[in-house]
Amino acid sequence: MESGGQSVKGISGHREPKGEGCVYAYLAECCESSLDIYQAVETSDQGELFNFHEKPNPNCPVGKNIHRILDESLLAVQKKFEEELKEHSVAEVYERMDKA
């Protein structure tokens, strides 16, 4: 399924939306939290929020150390971000849309 140029992956067993505006109904039907939506449309194939510099140059003073220095911290940030997303439901989004 395509949604604003992004594919919705990992969501199966639900009918595909047809027509503009149906994506919201589709997501409400299959996704309970903002984390569900995030995982369906935003994460890389490895499930990482921060996916960068796959093959750094081992001769570069920054490149040779970048993953050793940053990966642990970035995974901790991602976990906190995902925990926060779990706390927000799709229904909350609809409530805010109704008030706007």
Contact 25, 17 (CB under 8 A): yes
Name the band, by pLDDT with cuts 50, 70 and 90, for residue 44. low
What per-residue confidence (pLDDT) applies to 33?
Answer: 86
What per-residue confidence (pLDDT) applies to 36?
Answer: 84
Short-list 41, 4, 31, CA closest to 20: 4
Over range 13-42, report the average pLDDT. Answer: 66
What per-residue confidence (pLDDT) applies to 50?
Answer: 78
Considering only residues 38 and 72, tell me which one the structure prediction assigns the higher pLDDT: 72
What per-residue confidence (pLDDT) applies to 82?
Answer: 92
Percent of the chain having pLDDT more than 70?
A: 64
**HSE-up of 29 (CA within 13 Å, CB side)?**
12
Residue 76 in this model has a pLDDT that exceeds 90: yes
- Look up residue 16 and give its two tokens: 């595909």
Over range 67-96, report the average pLDDT. Answer: 88
